Amino acid sequence: MITDFNALLNKCKALPRKRLVVCGGEDEAAQLAVKRAADIGLVSPILVGSAGKIKEIMTVTGLSADVIGTETPEEASAAAVRLVREGEGDILMKGMIDTGALLKAVVNRETGIRLSSLLSHVTVFSVPTLDKLLLATDCAMVIAPDFADKIGIIENAAIVARVLGIAVPKVAVLSASEKVNPKMLSSEEAAALARHFAGREDLIVAGPYALDNVISEEAARRKGIAGGAAGSADVIVFPGIEAGNVFYKTAVYLAGATPAGVVIGARAPIALTSRADSEQAKFYSIALAMVVENETDNSRD
C-alpha cells in the first residue's frame, strides 16, 4: 500500500514515460512541476495556450516542451482535450485556466473525453499528523451533489484508493454528527448511502460521522463508535463542495498538508489543483495521475 508521496513517486519511476498535456501552460508553478517530472523521466510534456506567454515563462523555468499556441481559453481547452481524444496524450493537466472552461471541453458530447456519467475530483492529502495518505471528495468540482451523484463520487474515490493499494477502502460519509438527525439532511443522506453500499465486499461505506470520529481512533473510542470507518477512514466524503473546499484550504494552509488532485471519469485522468496551489502539489498531482492512468489502462486491457 502507498502510504506517502515518496512511495507514490517511486511507483511512478517504474512506469513508462507518459505524454502530459498541460492546458494553460502559462503557469510558472505548473511549468516547474512539469520540469521536475520531465527531468526524472516521468513525462513528455505538451503545453497548450498562449505561445508567447508560455515560451516567455519557459525561459525562466528552463522547461523544454512542445508548445501548441491558441488564442483563447476555450481554444486551449478544445485543443488540449483533442490531443487526449486522438491518442496524442495520456494525461491532461490543468494549468493557468479556469476549471469550468477546461471541463466544458472535457464533457462536450461531440468532441470531449467524458467516459462515465459523473466526473468528480479526488484529493489525496499527505498530512503531517497522519501515518498514511487521506483521500477526500469532492472538494473542487461537483457543486451540489445529489444522492445519485454521491454514489458516483464514492465509486470514483474507490478507484483512486485501490490504485494506491487499498484493497477494501473504508469510506466515511460526513455530517456534523455521528447521529442521524431529521433536521440535518446530510446525516440522513449519509445513512442512506451506507445502506446503499451495504453488503459490498470490495468497499466499506459508513455514516454519518463527524470528522473527528474517522480521523482519530481516540475520538471514536471516547464516543463509543466502532466498526465501519470509525477512527481509520481511507476516504472522507463531504456533504457538499462548501465543506470540502473549506477542509481542503484548512488542511493545506493551517495544518501543513500537501494535496494532490485528480479528476476521475474521463478517458484519461486529469491532474487538477487550484491555481494557487504550490509547485509541489502540482508535481504530486502529476504523479498521482500517472499511477491512475497506468492502473486503469491496465484494467481495461
Work out the pLDDT band at 296, boundaries 50, 70, 90: confident
Torsion on CA atoms 215, 221, 227, 230, rounded to nearest 10: -10
Q: Which CATH superfamily does the domain covering 118-263 fall into?
A: Isopropylmalate Dehydrogenase (3.40.718.10)
Q: Is the pLDDT reported for residue 159 higher than 60? A: yes
Distance (Å, rounded) from C-alpha 106 to C-alpha 120? Answer: 12
In sequence order, what are the beta bridge partners of 21? 46, 92
Q: Which pLDDT score is estimated for 285?
A: 97
Query: Which pairing describes strands 133-137 and 120-126: parallel, antiparallel, or unpaired?
Result: antiparallel
Q: List, for residues 221-231, the tens digit of each pLDDT value.
A: 998 888 889 89
C-alpha count within 13 angstroms, C-beta hemisphere, residue 197: 28
Q: Tell me the mean pLDDT in the region 5-10.
A: 96
pTM for the model: 0.93
Task: Confirm or reject CATH 3.40.50.2300 for domain 1-115+266-301, answering yes or no.
Answer: no
Q: Which pLDDT score is estimated for 276?
A: 82
Distance (Å, rounded) from C-alpha 294 to C-alpha 301? Answer: 11
DSSP string, 60-129: HH----EEEE-SSHHHHHHHHHHHHHTTS-SEEEE-SS-HHHHHHHHT-TTT--B-SS--EEEEEEE-TT
Q: Is the pLDDT reported for residue 301 higher than 80? A: no
C-alpha cell at 234: 481511507
Q: Is the pLDDT reported for residue 300 higher than 70? A: no
Q: List, for residues 123-154, the tens digit of each pLDDT value.
A: 999 999 999 999 999 999 999 899 999 999 99
Average pLDDT score over the chain: 93
Q: Is the pLDDT reported for residue 6 higher than 60? A: yes
Q: Which pLDDT score is estimated for 117?
A: 83
Closest residue by Cα to residue 94 from 292, 285, 295, 293: 285
Contacts of 31 (CB under 8 A, 6+ apart): 25, 47, 57, 58, 61, 63
Q: Where in the chain is the domain with CATH 3.40.718.10?
A: 118-263
Q: Which pLDDT score is estimated for 177?
A: 85
Distance in Å from the first CA to the final CA of the chain: 23
Work out the pLDDT band at 71, boundaries 50, 70, 90: very high
C-alpha cell at 127: 498530512
Residue keyed to cell 490504485 = 163
CB 232, CB 246: distance < 8 Å = no
Q: Is the pLDDT reported for residue 264 higher than 70? A: yes
